[in-house]
Amino acid sequence: MRRTITTAVVVAVFGLTAACSSDGDRAAEQHSTTEGATQQQHNDADVRFAQSMIPHHRQAVTMAEMVPERSSDEELRELADEIEQAQDPEIEQLESLLETWDEPVETAAADHDSMSGMMSDADMARLEQAEGTEFETEWVEMMIDHHRGAVEMATTELDDGVNDAAAQLADEIVTAQRDEIERMQDMLDES
């Protein structure tokens, strides 16, 4: 009798353990599937953010690439390099998000000149022609405006978007570019 009870208890414990393990595996599988769905989930705000931020970042990279030829200011050269090193990978991340969502990376409908903080062709031409301290001052002032535009766009994404990866990137952009705005403002104040 005692042996039968012990055997019954052991069988019951193993049965519960197997059931819990199976339920746990299923829960982990569901979480993984849900997590994947969250990565895919996006709305028009996410698409607009990615499609707009790509040319915005490209222009910042173009501006950053101008600095080594036109400035010997080490602080400015370092900042320009940091901007280029940060924004090139972000462009790739934005392109990857759009591809994952099956959305076009390039869009002819977007009026890039009307995007917040974007420099016009005339602004860029003027910057190309500037030299020395005129270039440095002009570049810093333009990049502050450019960064403010990016912060505005990223904040809109945080308010209106639904994709977790896009929101995380937007949050990183807000933090990094606000810090860089402060640095550039200090540079202007010191000049």
Residue type at position 18: A
- Provide the pLDDT for residue 33: 33
- Provide the pLDDT for residue 113: 60
- Provide the pLDDT for residue 112: 60
Per-residue DSSP letter, 178: H
CA atoms lying within 13 Å on the CB side of residue 129: 6
Give phi and psi for 91, each to the nearest 5: -60, -45
Residue 118 · residue 58 · CB < 8 Å: no
Q: Which residue has the tokens 């209106």?
A: 160
Per-residue DSSP letter, 4: H
- Provide the pLDDT for residue 116: 84
Q: Shortest CA distance to 163 belongs to which of 62, 16, 35?
A: 35
Q: Which residue has the tokens 């049965």?
A: 15
Per-residue pLDDT of the chain (191 residues; tens, 9 = 90+): 444 444 444 444 444 444 444 444 433 333 333 344 445 799 999 999 999 999 999 999 999 999 999 999 999 999 999 999 999 999 999 999 999 999 998 875 455 666 788 999 999 999 999 999 999 999 999 999 999 999 999 999 999 999 999 999 999 999 999 999 999 999 999 87
Overall size of the chain counted in residues: 191
Spatial separation of the C-alpha atoms in residues 171 and 102, rounded to whole Å: 23
Residue type at position 178: R
Residue 76 · residue 139 · CB < 8 Å: yes
Token pair for 56: 């915005």
